[in-house]
Structure 1
Amino acid sequence: MNLTTPALLFPAISLLLLAYTNRFLVVAQLIRTLIRQNQDDPNSDLTDQILNLKIRIEAIRRMQVLGVLAFIGCVLAMFFLFLDQALLGTGCFALSLILMVASLCFSLYEVQISGRALNLQLKGLEFK
């Protein structure tokens, strides 16, 4: 493995972190809006949606933490490879890949619970 191998993940990790941050901002804004709506007109459906969004925020936070740790792992892998420490570099790169997979698993989980949130939003509507 050479120095450029871990560098290949840099753009992918950066784009994922950007996507995760955008998801976080959208969900946070939605929570603020729903809380204001619920204060004006208390509704159990809104409360359920807010609680679901709270779970999504936690999943997104974990996605972000794991993504940042994967990025750090890539940097360390490049550092060790630069110092001709192939074993440490390979180990850090492998750890980085594992962390990235874990981050993507939380992303999949978040997508699943976002589907539940949409079902709560659609609850009570009748389609003809």
Structure 2
Amino acid sequence: MVFIAKKLKKGTEKKRAIMKKATAYEKARATAHKGRHIGGAGKEDYRRGNVKGEVKNRKTPVTKPELKKMITEKGIREVESKAGFTKPAEEYRNTYQPKVKLFQKGKLIPKKKPKKKK
């Protein structure tokens, strides 16, 4: 019994440390964007006036469905991702949501004009 309790305790401590690190990164990015950190489940990560921002601190890039959900459900206008964005996600932003700003490691990803089909 004692062994299992110690094992569970280590797992929760590790999870707590990861969450603490993620929150610290969100706060740092909110400050860099001159916004106020909000956080919490189902809420934007930071807000600057009427602009809502989301921060993704992970190793995999943000996909198109994730980006679409953030924009439509939360009303996000700025997305910061350490790993970047997939090509379909960038194309979606360029074509349908040109007002949304995408950042990778603090640098703005420029908007590209969609190619016209012949």
Q: For this structure pair, what is the TM-score category when the shorter chain's length is used for normalisation?
A: 0.3 to 0.5
Structure having the higher Rg: 1
What is the TM-score with the length of structure 1 in the denominator?
0.35
Whose helix proportion is higher, 1 or 2? 1
Whose strand proportion is higher, 1 or 2? 2
